[in-house]
Chains A and B, each alone.
Chain A
Amino acid sequence: MRLVNIISGGLRALFGKQRVEQELDEELRCYMESAVEHKMREGMGREEAAREVRMEMGSREALKEQVREVGWETRIESFLQDLRYGLRMLRKNPSFTSVAVLALALGIGANTAMFSVIEAVLLRPLPYRNANEIVRVASTWDRNGTLTSYTSSPPDFFDWRDQNRSFSSMFAYHTGEFALTGQGEAKRVRAVMATAGMFSTLQAEPMLGREFAPEENRKGANHVVILSHSLWQAAFAGAADAIGKTIQLDSEPYTIIGVMPADFRFPLSGSDAFAPIGFDDKVMTQRGAHYLAVLGRLQSGVTLAQANDDLSAIMAQLRKLYPDKDGKWGVRAQLWSAALVSDIRPALLVLLGAVGLVALIACANISNLLLARATVRHRELAMRRALGAGRSRLVRQMLTEGLLLALLAGGASLLLAHWALVSIVRFGPADIPRLASVALNGPVLAFAMSMSIACALLFALIPALRSSPLDAAGLLRMSVSPSREAGRLRGALLVGEVALSMMLLAGAGLLVRSFVGLSSLSPGFDPKSVLTMSIAVPDAHYKNSAALQSYWDQALTQLRSLPGVASVAAVTPLPLSGDDFSSSFRVEGRSVPEKDEPSAELRFASPDYFRTLAIPLRQGRAFAEADRLGAARVLLISETAARMFFPAGDAIGQKIKFGASGGYEKNEGEIVGVVGDVRHFGVDAPVPPTFYVPLAQSGMDFVAVVMRTQGLPAGLMQAARKVVQAIDSDALVGEPVPMETLVSASLGQRRFYMMLLGGFAALALILAAVGLYGVISYSVAQRTQEVGIRVALGASGSDVVAMVMRQGLRLAAVGLAIGLALALVLKSVLRGLLVGVSATDPATLAVTALALLIVAVLASYVPARRAARVDPMVALRFD
């Protein structure tokens, strides 16, 4: 009832406004008359009584305003009024409006773009049902106190899965690829090999057919496959009778048992087919073979900590049971969503902080513009105050104007953010999960909206609060000269802007320096004019090492005969490809317990590999054509490995036996030479100790060929593929890639972070320059009279320029000094992102400070020049 009253009363007032106002007027008049009559009855004269009543009642307009403010409808009304008024003000000052909107749009746009990256990569839930229950379980290795996560071995996985009491299901998988053959040229199929718990853990079901049965994880029974929706469409045009048919994967028949729905992606980068891992009878003896990723789903009500305790207890038991293989391993459960981005998250948060500073700078800028304008609007505000507008009413009006600006800017910022996202998708590194899925979606739009409103509050509140407390009488005095206090506030804001810009510039400068340093590091080989191409041959066609080797011999010979090719070699795994192969080993003559055996990287290479990639031979000899099956087994060792394992310098001649085998052959041999180090895991990653095994003594079915060419001739890529496919059409031949592309991609994340921070710093610099320019121009305009007097008294143009610039540069210098101090904070923030450069690198700080100073000089020189051209006569007549 009351609510109805309140609402209907408000609506009446809103729509029958004139009548309500009339009534109020009449009521007040009646009140006055009654009061006058009353006073006259007490003996006052009419005049005197009327004056006294007017005094008692105060301003009638103010009184009416008070009555109006009782209802909610006045809020809306005055808001609409403010909105109309604000729009008129913005239209009347197009240059102010466009500068403010543009500055703010840049700030909000950068924030929106950055937030959409955060949203896509860090915040968006993984695309699985109840994804917050999915946990990554990893083997851990304690390296000098820091736990590093590794993949796990099948026996460890089985023991975790069968003994835990925390997970409703758990599965293990590894990724790989198949050649889809039997339909013309072999096609690459990205595959996931998984155990049977995959679908219950991910809570996803095939849309057609069925999932794996547990017994299909045995070798021999594992030739079944579930297709992704897209492969099903491509290979079977979406026909439902595909179930039960067979396809040739790596030249072996696989029965199709299911098709996944179109929106199913696993892993996040996507795959085309899912097949069971075929474990053989010896699987339970392979406790040291870490190659499986493990995911589990927590039982409801079980916390991550409980799961970790549970798994750790199991692992403690395993360490006791298998001290040789599990003796040094631990286990760790992490939310999968967190584990996926654990190394990316800190960098993205630093960038988010940086872009937040850009928004602050933009807000300070607009605050400054508004402050300057508030002085100009002095009299307007005083008039409104005198006519009965309350203080809160004026604050509200100025906030509304701010909001209007911010919303205009918010709209414009979406356009800027859209362009930013297009280039992020195009140029962003491939190894940041889900980066390519950034979009201006609901959460991002909501963010842009709230960001705009927050900015409006931030930049409009300072000027609004500052300009309203002055009393009307003071404001109405004819003087419009700005108070000193306002000038100081503007100066302080400007100093803040410059300081934050300095900090961002310093950060960006450090990243650039670090990046340039890394880019100039040699990867350990010469990538120039080298083309690489992966080749995988079907096991089924080559039953032993000799058969494989004759295939590789043939392929390399054919490639070598192509025009423009200088030398050709084969290696696996390829540096910077993301693949690696490591093994524990034992040195003949040294006796260490199995769990303490050292491990190193293993590479399988053809004789010309070192010459083709220009990897220097330091000692002994490289591989020769004669190092084949049947000949003495030989090995090469990298410099780092030689130093680590044979500090006495006696590596050559040592006999090594490796624990794990790569291909058909057992890996062992005598070290015959030492070669230069290769940064296999990236230019910015530690150099791994490495052994090389002759490809011809290993029996590998997968290699990357490397071809040194004369300037990467056009057409060579297609020719190379054709030649290899001609030998065996079922071989899976990858797209040829220039080695330089791999080198540059290995710095992709760093380049991405550097570009973003550099972009933000550039924005900050522009905003600071605009701010400086605005403040100086405004103060020049204010001081026209003073300048005129000075010129009239004989000051030269250069005196005036110097005077104005001194003012600008003093502010800039203070900001610069504070900014440099703030830059020291970067030390802890940027630590993880900088390589080979200290966070307080004096050269970088000096260069960035100089850059900022030059911009400051330019930004104050332009208005100073204008001041110098002031005509003293005009200036003296001014107001």
Chain B
Amino acid sequence: MATPQKPGSVVQGTLDMLILKTLALEPMHGYGVGLRIEQISKGVFQVNAGSLFPAFRRLERQGWIRGEWRATENNRRAKYYMLTDAGRKKLKSEAREWQTQSAAIARILEATSGEV
């Protein structure tokens, strides 16, 4: 039985990178991060709270992001996450790594029989 890829699940291990990238644009609170990922990916990725919050905790512990309580646009207190310097470095290396890998995967997938 083939398991249909659920729309919205994020490729294993890339969620952290996506969060870092999103926060690199501007500090954001939890719901905003999820929403932004969904929007930018045009609905391909849907991140639910169950993955998001453990990821925040994980990234915070690693020292890649830090949280700060601020007022939202609606004047409510929310925890805003922002990238630290270490997080910026991490994002750079993750992105570079991802690009090399995805380019390589693309090359393999597009290979014609003559090249193999």
Q: How many A residues, CB 8 Å from partner?
A: 28
Stretch touching chain B among A27-35, A250-258, A298-306, A322-330: A27-35
Contact with A along B41-67 (1 / 0, CB 8 A): 000000011100110111011110000
The residue among B35, B49, B58, B76 with the most chain A CB atoms within 10 A of its own CB is B49
Determine the residue in chain A with the shortest Cβ distance to B90: A2
A21-63 interface (Cβ within 8 A of B): 23-24, 26-28, 30-31, 33-35, 37-38, 56-58, 62-63
B60 engages A66 (CB within 8 Å):
no
Q: Is B88 an interface residue (CB 8 A)?
A: no
Query: Is the beta-carbon distance between B61 and A56 smaller than 8 angstroms?
Result: no
Nearest CB on A from B52, distance (A): 8
A5 CB-CB contact with B under 8 Å: yes
Q: A67 CA to B61 CA in the complex, in Å?
A: 12
Decide yes or no whether A540 CB sits under 8 A from chain B.
no
Contact B50 A63 (CB under 8 A): yes
Across-interface contacts of B49 in A (CB, < 8 A): 28, 31, 56-58, 63
Do B29 and A66 touch across chains, with their CB atoms under 8 A apart?
Answer: no
Query: CB-nearest residue of chain B relative to A66?
Result: B54
Is A9 an interface position by the 8 A CB rule? yes
Docked complex Cα distance between A67 and B35 (Å):
20
Q: For B30, list chain A residues within 8 Å (CB).
A: 27, 30-31, 34
Within 8 A of B (CB), among A637-656: none
Select A58's contact among B29, B50, B56, B77, beta carbons within 8 Å. Answer: B50
Would you call B86 an interface residue if the criterion is a C-beta within 8 Å of the partner chain's C-beta atoms? Answer: yes
Q: Of B57, B78, B79, B86, which contacts A70 at CB under 8 A?
A: B57
For residue B14, give the distance in angstroms from its CB to the closest CB of chain A: 18
Question: Contacts A27-B79, A63-B50, A66-B50: A5 and B32 contacting too (C-beta < 8 A)?
Answer: no
Knowing A28-B49, A30-B78, A67-B53, say if A38 contacts B31 (CB, 8 Å): yes
With A56-B48, A56-B49 as contacts: A31 and B86 at CB distance below 8 Å: no
Q: How far does the alpha carbon of A138 sit from the alpha carbon of B74 in the complex, in Å?
A: 95
Whole-angstrom distance between the Cβ of A863 and the nearest chain B Cβ: 49
Which residues of chain A come closer than 8 Å to B31, judged between CB atoms?
30-31, 34-35, 38
Is the Cβ of A2 less than 8 Å from the Cβ of B86? yes
Asked whether A57 and B48 contact (CB < 8 A) given A31-B31, A38-B35, the answer is yes
Which chain A residues border B63 with CB–CB below 8 Å?
1-2, 5-6
Q: Provide the bound-state CA to CA distance between A30 and B79, in Å.
A: 8
Taking the closest CB of chain A, its distance from the CB of B78, in whole angstroms, is 5
Chain A residues in 8 Å Cβ range of B79: 23, 26-27, 30
A676 at the interface (CB under 8 A from B): no
Min CB distance B82 to A, Å, is 15
Tell me whether A30 and B77 are in contact (CB under 8 A).
yes
Question: Is A71 at the interface (CB under 8 A from chain B)?
Answer: yes
Q: Separation in Å of the A10 CB from the closest CB of chain B?
A: 8
CB atoms of A28 and B50 under 8 A apart = no
Closest to B74 in A: A37
Complex contacts, A9 vs chain B, CB 8 Å: 60-61
Asked if residues A30 and B29 are in contact (CB atoms below 8 Å), the reply is: yes
Tell me if A28 and B53 are in contact (CB < 8 A): yes
Interface string of B23-39 (1 = CB under 8 A from A): 00000011110010000
Complex contact B54–A34 (CB within 8 A)? no
Contact A34 B32, CB 8 Å, known A1-B63, A5-B62: yes
Q: How far is the CA of A554 from the CA of B62 in the complex (A)?
A: 96
- In the assembled complex, how far is the CB of residue B105 from the closest CB belonging to chain A, in whole angstroms? 29
Provide the residues of chain A in CB contact with B62, threshold 8 Å. 2, 5-6
Q: Which residues of chain A have C-beta atoms less than 8 A from B54's C-beta?
A: 66-67, 69-70
With an 8 Å Cβ cutoff, the count of chain B residues facing the other chain is 24
Q: A6-B61, A63-B50, A66-B54 are in contact. Are A34 and B29 (CB under 8 A)?
A: yes
| B79, closest chain A residue (CB) | A27
Complex alpha-carbon distance, A56 and B49, angstroms? 8
The residue on A at minimum CB distance from B35 is: A38
**Complex Cα spacing A56 to B79, Å:** 21
A705 CB to closest chain B CB, in angstroms?
A: 86
Q: Closest chain A residue to B52 by CB distance?
A: A31
- Give the Cβ gap from A749 to chain B, nearest Cβ, in Å: 62
Q: In angstroms, how far is the closest chain B Cβ from the Cβ of A287?
A: 79
Interface string of A421-441 (1 = CB under 8 A from B): 000000000000000000000
Smallest distance from the beta carbon of B19 to chain A beta carbons, Å? 14
Q: What CA separation (Å) do A87 and B63 show in the bound complex? A: 38
Would you call A67 and B57 a contact (CB within 8 A)?
A: yes
Measured between beta carbons, the chain B residues less than 8 angstroms from A28 are 49, 53
Contact status A63-B53, CB under 8 Å:
yes
CA distance A27 to B81 in the complex (A): 11
CA distance A35 to B78 in the complex (A): 13
Expressed in whole angstroms, the minimum distance between the Cβ of A413 and any Cβ of chain B is: 41
Residue of B nearest to A23 (CB): B79
Q: In the bound complex, what is the Cα–Cα distance between A10 and B62 (angstroms)?
A: 11
In Å, the complex CA distance between A872 and B103 comes to: 79
**Across-interface contacts of B74 in A (CB, < 8 A):** 37
Chain A residues in 8 Å Cβ range of B86:
1-2
Q: For residues 664 through 678 of chain A, which have their beta carbon under 8 Å from a beta carbon of chain B?
A: none
CB–CB B76/A33 < 8 A: yes
Q: Which residues of A contact B57 (CB under 8 A)?
A: 67, 70-71
Assess the B50–A71 pair: CB atoms within 8 A. Answer: no
CA distance A24 to B57 in the complex (A): 10
> A23: which B residues are within 8 A, CB to CB?
79
| Minimal beta-carbon separation of B60 from chain A (angstroms) | 7
Q: Please give the distance in Å from A27's CB to the nearest CB on chain B.
A: 5
Residues of A within 8 A of B50 (CB): 57-58, 62-63, 66
Residues on B with beta carbons closer than 8 Å to the beta carbon of A24: 53
Per the bound structure, the CA–CA distance linking A35 and B32 in Å amounts to 9
Q: B72 CB to closest chain A CB, in angstroms? A: 8
Contact B29 A70 (CB under 8 A): no
A5 near B61 with CB under 8 A, answer yes
With A34-B32, A67-B57, A71-B61 as contacts: A26 and B77 at CB distance below 8 Å: yes
* Residues of chain A in range 1-27 having any CB-CB distance to chain B below 8 Å: 1-2, 5-6, 9-10, 23-24, 26-27
Q: How far is the CA of A2 from the CA of B50 in the complex (A)?
A: 24
Give chain B residues whose Cβ lies under 8 Å from the Cβ of A10. Answer: 61
B53 touching A66 by the CB < 8 A rule?
Answer: yes
Chain B neighbourhood of A27, CB < 8 A: 30, 53, 78-79
- Contact residues, A67-82 vs B (CB, 8 A): 67, 69-71
Kindly state the separation between the CA atoms of A62 and B48 in the bound complex, as whole angstroms: 14
Contacts of B35 in A (CB 8 A): 38
Chain A residues in 8 Å Cβ range of B77: 26, 30
Which chain B residues lie closer than 8 Å to A67 at the CB level?
53-54, 56-57
Determine the distance from Cα of A33 to Cα of B29 in the docked complex, in whole angstroms.
12
Contacts of A63 in B (CB 8 A): 49-50, 53
Docked CA distance A24–B56 (Å): 11
CB distance from A780 to the nearest CB of B (A): 47
Q: Chain B CB within 10 Å — which of A6, A31, A57, A58 has the most?
A: A31
Q: How far is the CB of B75 from chain A (nearest CB, A)?
A: 12
Q: How far is the CA of A504 from the CA of B35 in the complex (A)?
A: 68
Chain B residues within 8 Å of A56, by CB? 48-49
Question: Which B residues are in CB contact (< 8 Å) with A26?
Answer: 77, 79
Annotate B84-97 by CB proximity to A: 1 below 8 A, 0 otherwise: 00100000000000
A642 nearest CB across to chain B (Å): 88
Determine the distance from Cα of A6 to Cα of B64 in the docked complex, in whole angstroms: 11
**B interface residues, Cβ below 8 angstroms from A:** 29-32, 35, 48-50, 53-54, 56-58, 60-63, 72, 74, 76-79, 86
**17 residue pairs bridging A and B, Cβ less than 8 Å apart:** A2-B62, A6-B61, A6-B63, A10-B61, A26-B77, A27-B30, A30-B30, A30-B79, A33-B76, A34-B29, A34-B78, A56-B48, A63-B49, A66-B53, A69-B54, A70-B54, A70-B57
Known: A70-B58, A70-B61, A71-B57. 18 other contacts (CB 8 A): A1-B63, A1-B86, A5-B62, A6-B63, A9-B60, A26-B79, A27-B30, A28-B53, A30-B78, A31-B53, A33-B76, A34-B72, A38-B35, A56-B49, A57-B49, A58-B49, A63-B49, A66-B50
Across the A-B interface, the 3 shortest Cβ-Cβ residue pairs: A34-B31, A5-B63, A70-B57
